[in-house]
């Protein structure tokens, strides 16, 4: 049971008649900002607690949950799981209200940071936490429920799920192969089997024949076995000495920087990870159909970013938008920076935090056909499928898929709107819009950039600062209007093959900037074979057999290197810098020609004609592109007002866009 220290003193039990949600336990209630009013929505309260869920293994809508039938059952024959929850709701309920459910990325809360310019506080109740309060001024009920089984129980700032362990029919432990890998940034003696700070499956047979550690020099390079005499299952203590631990590996000579290490081992007691998808389903079903729910609302809209955007894509593909009673759950979904991915969310020994990038976390079940909501055919297998093929058509939510430029380079985003052979455009279905936030990286970087972000010997910076949150806010408002009143949203905006702004990487007209370089690779999803029982959610081959990759296309650029297709923010419409959504691993250990994980590259224009000549920069100098600061900002304002007219920017955000452009000008000028 996750330890919530405040629970015993503050426990309030909310009765429920829904079998899927057995009990809601409220541990804490707090008036937000002392009762401050947020426009017509009035005051808000923060409610925290736990939910007890029960799942019927015999229900046909639960058949897709891997190993549910092997989990322990209560006296009613149901499988139980506890989840943490948190909700910000108006104290004066709105009968026409919308619940915005953020699927918590690794147990954290991104919602206020991404859409309110606030913080990622686990308990948002300070002015800085709530930013400009847009979400609250809209009157939304904000909901978070733990869904990820491997969030550490002692980390009370993260929302987690207590999922049961699956056992064989005779009660004996289930064992299976597990894999971990690392791109070692700097030499170290100890590596955790977990991804990030999550809980790892421990090794149960350290000396077994299936326990193999390999090292290689690149993504597809040949693996070399590391002799078992050179390492052991242990972690380094404060003095760097080994302490036996089945969740770490240790090498007295150290693991070499720049190398890719990969460990395959056997573990036991898999958690029923797929319950995370069912928890999301049943929590929002409770919100819509159970009177008195702490997060009651007429409409349900889901928001997922990166990992949890991929989870929402899998939620659709595996048909979870229908609850146990055959009712529609989400009315709308905003799936953000997920690219073409799904994830390690619903199989035996799943590790939900594992993802897949060009040069990080390799060959996990993250990039799997089908990629698009429109029906398509995999030319290698002949399989015909669509992301939403398993959903009742009446249960299709209204969907926005938004991606930055990075997802085209690093998360195969082009495959959500092209055929799997990369030759033709695929039109999204009527319930879906696709938006490309041109030039952006996975998550916006800081402005001004720290000097430590400057590339070695270059004018360029890694972790670029294009802030796509402004158009994203407008998209959220458009989605809510579409859900609530049927107002048609802005048309899709993304690069296309038939317009010539979606192209293979060797056709991208990247300006020649001597100190930056040009990428020669892009992340392509490989066809992966996990063994004969993969269709049942069981992995028998680790690492998987790697087949031919799916071709991926990226956005074409303008004369200064900024992406053309999609939503172009004022930074691209009135440029004083180039925003590449990719970054090479220059200065990092290992292959410097590969792509860095989730970051882009920022190169300010030369300030003067002399600077331009000295750098042999083909882009214009700021001094010749604009008469002065005032003239530049006047053009920025016109560009911002144009975005408002296309409903890609809120009218209230024009001053914010102009202010950020002014700050960028001032920093470059200094």
Please spell the DSSP secondary structure of 262-296, one letter per residue: EEEEEEE--B-TTHHHHHHHHHHHHHHHSTT-TT-
Question: Please, are residues 118 and 316 in contact by the beta-carbon 8 Å criterion?
Answer: no
Mean per-residue pLDDT pooled into runs of 10, the chain (670 residues):
45 62 95 95 97 97 97 97 97 90 96 96 95 96 97 89 97 98 96 94 96 97 97 94 97 96 98 98 96 93 98 98 97 98 98 94 96 97 96 97 98 98 97 98 95 90 96 98 97 98 97 90 97 98 97 98 97 98 93 94 96 95 97 98 98 98 95
* CB-CB neighbours of 126 under 10 Å: 12
In a 13 Å sphere around the CA of 382, the CA atoms on its Cβ side amount to: 0
Asked if omega into 370 is within 30° of 0 (cis), the reply is: yes
CA gap 456, 14 in Å, rounded: 58
Q: Which two tokens stand for residue 333?
A: 């979904």
CA gap 586, 593 in Å, rounded: 7
Residue 593 belongs to a domain: yes
C-alpha dist (Å) from residue 612 to 164, 182, 618:
63, 41, 8
| Residues facing residue 665 across a β-bridge | none
Q: What is the pLDDT of residue 670?
A: 85
Q: What is the pLDDT of residue 654?
A: 98
Residue 437 belongs to a domain: no
Q: Does residue 197 sit in the same domain as residue 283? A: no
| Residues facing residue 46 across a β-bridge | 30, 88
Question: Please, are residues 620 and 605 in contact by the beta-carbon 8 Å criterion?
Answer: yes
What residue ranges in 326-381 does DSSP mark as E strands? Answer: 332-336, 376-377
Q: Does residue 537 sit in the same domain as residue 608? A: yes
Q: Does residue 509 sit in the same domain as residue 590? A: yes
Q: Does residue 193 sit in the same domain as residue 292? A: no
Q: Does residue 84 sit in the same domain as residue 219? A: no
Give me the domain span that covers residue 264: 175-268
First to last CA, the chain: 55
Q: Does residue 163 sit in the same domain as residue 184? A: no
User: To which residue do tokens 């440029």 refer?
Assistant: 575
C-alpha dist (Å) from residue 670 to 149, 187, 247, 498, 663:
49, 38, 49, 42, 11
Residue 234 belongs to a domain: yes
Q: What is the pLDDT of residue 19?
A: 62
Residue 631 belongs to a domain: yes
At residue 36's C-alpha, the angle toward residues 34 and 41, to 5°, is 135
Q: Does residue 229 sit in the same domain as residue 204? A: yes
Residue 462 belongs to a domain: no
Among 58, 55, 50, 62, CA closest to 80 = 55
Q: What is the pLDDT of residue 95?
A: 80
Among 215, 257, 192, CA closest to 585 = 257
CA gap 302, 287 in Å, rounded: 12
State the pTM of this model: 0.96
Boundary (domain end) residue, out of 247, 282, 297:
297
Overall domain count for the chain: 3
Q: What is the pLDDT of residue 579?
A: 98
Residue 592 belongs to a domain: yes
Q: Does residue 522 sit in the same domain as residue 637? A: yes
Residue 34 belongs to a domain: yes
Q: What is the pLDDT of residue 156?
A: 81
Q: Does residue 86 sit in the same domain as residue 203? A: no
CA gap 629, 352 in Å, rounded: 48
3-state secondary structure of 55: strand
Q: Does residue 151 sit in the same domain as residue 33? A: yes
Residue 515 belongs to a domain: yes
CA gap 34, 581 in Å, rounded: 42
- Indicate the Cα dihedral angle 243, 247, 248, 249, nearest 10°: 100
Q: What is the pLDDT of residue 514?
A: 78
Q: Does residue 183 sit in the same domain as residue 284? A: no
Q: Does residue 197 sit in the same domain as residue 71? A: no
């Amino acid at each position: 049971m996750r330890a919530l220290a405040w629970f015993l003193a503050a426990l309030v039990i909310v009765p429920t008649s829904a079998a899927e949600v057995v009990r809601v336990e409220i541990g804490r209630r707090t008036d937000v900002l002392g009762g401050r009013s947020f426009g017509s929505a009035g005051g808000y309260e923060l409610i925290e607690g736990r939910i007890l869920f029960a799942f019927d293994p015999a229900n046909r809508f639960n058949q897709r949950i891997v190993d549910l039938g092997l989990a322990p059952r209560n006296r009613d024959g149901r499988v139980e799981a506890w989840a943490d929850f948190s909700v910000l709701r108006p104290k004066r309920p709105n009968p026409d209200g919308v619940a915005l459910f953020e699927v918590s990325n690794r147990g954290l809360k991104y919602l206020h940071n991404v859409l309110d310019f606030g913080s990622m506080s686990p308990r948002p109740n300070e002015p800085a936490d709530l930013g400009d309060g847009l979400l609250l001024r809209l009157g939304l009920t904000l909901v978070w429920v733990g869904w990820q089984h491997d969030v550490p129980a002692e980390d009370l700032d993260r929302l987690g799920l207590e999922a049961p362990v699956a056992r064989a029919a005779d009660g004996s432990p289930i064992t299976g192969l597990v894999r971990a890998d690392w791109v070692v940034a700097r030499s170290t003696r100890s590596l955790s089997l977990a991804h990030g700070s999550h809980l790892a499956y421990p090794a149960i047979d350290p000396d077994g024949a299936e326990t193999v550690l390999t090292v290689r020099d690149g993504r597809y390079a040949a693996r070399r076995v590391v002799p078992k005499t050179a390492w052991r299952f242990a972690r380094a203590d404060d003095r760097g000495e080994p302490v036996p631990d089945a969740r770490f590996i240790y090498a007295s000579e150290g693991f070499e920087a720049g190398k890719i290490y990969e460990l395959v081992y056997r573990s036991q007691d898999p958690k029923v990870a797929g319950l995370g998808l069912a928890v999301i389903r049943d929590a929002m079903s409770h919100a819509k159909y159970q009177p008195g729910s702490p997060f009651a609302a007429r409409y349900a809209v889901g928001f997922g970013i990166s990992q949890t955007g991929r989870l929402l894509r899998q939620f659709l593909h595996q048909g979870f938008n229908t609850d146990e009673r055959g009712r529609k759950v989400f009315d709308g979904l905003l799936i953000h920076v997920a690219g073409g991915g799904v994830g390690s969310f619903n199989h035996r020994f799943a590790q939900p935090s594992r993802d897949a990038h060009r040069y990080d976390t390799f060959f996990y079940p993250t990039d799997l056909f089908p990629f698009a909501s429109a029906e398509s055919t995999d030319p290698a297998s002949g399989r015909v499928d669509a992301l939403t093929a398993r959903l009742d058509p009446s249960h299709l939510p209204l969907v926005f898929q938004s991606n930055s430029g990075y997802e085209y380079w690093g998360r195969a985003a082009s495959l959500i709107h092209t055929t799997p052979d990369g030759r033709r455009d695929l039109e999204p279905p009527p319930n879906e819009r696709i938006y490309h936030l041109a030039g952006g990286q996975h998550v916006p970087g800081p402005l001004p950039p720290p000097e430590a972000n400057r590339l070695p010997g270059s004018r360029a910076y890694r972790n670029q600062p294009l802030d796509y949150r402004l158009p994203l806010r407008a998209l959220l408002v458009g989605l809510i209007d579409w859900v609530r009143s049927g107002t048609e949203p802005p048309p899709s905006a993304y690069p296309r093959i038939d317009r010539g702004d979606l192209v293979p990487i060797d056709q991208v007209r990247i300006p020649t900037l001597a100190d930056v370089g040009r990428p020669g690779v892009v992340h392509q999803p490989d066809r992966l074979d996990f063994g004969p029982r993969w269709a049942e959610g069981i992995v028998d081959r680790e690492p998987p057999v790697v087949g031919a990759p799916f071709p991926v296309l990226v956005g074409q650029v303008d004369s200064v290197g900024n992406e053309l297709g999609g939503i172009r923010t004022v930074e691209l419409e009135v440029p004083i810098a180039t925003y590449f959504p990719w970054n090479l691993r220059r200065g990092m250990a290992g292959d410097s020609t590969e792509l860095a994980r989730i970051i882009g590259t920022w190169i300010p224009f030369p300030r003067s004609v002399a600077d331009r000549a000295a750098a042999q920069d083909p882009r214009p100098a700021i001094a010749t592109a604009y008469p002065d600061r005032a003239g530049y900002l006047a053009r920025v304002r016109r560009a911002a007002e144009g975005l408002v007219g296309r409903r890609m920017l809120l009218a209230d955000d024009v001053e914010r866009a102009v202010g950020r452009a002014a700050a960028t000008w001032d920093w470059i000028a200094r």
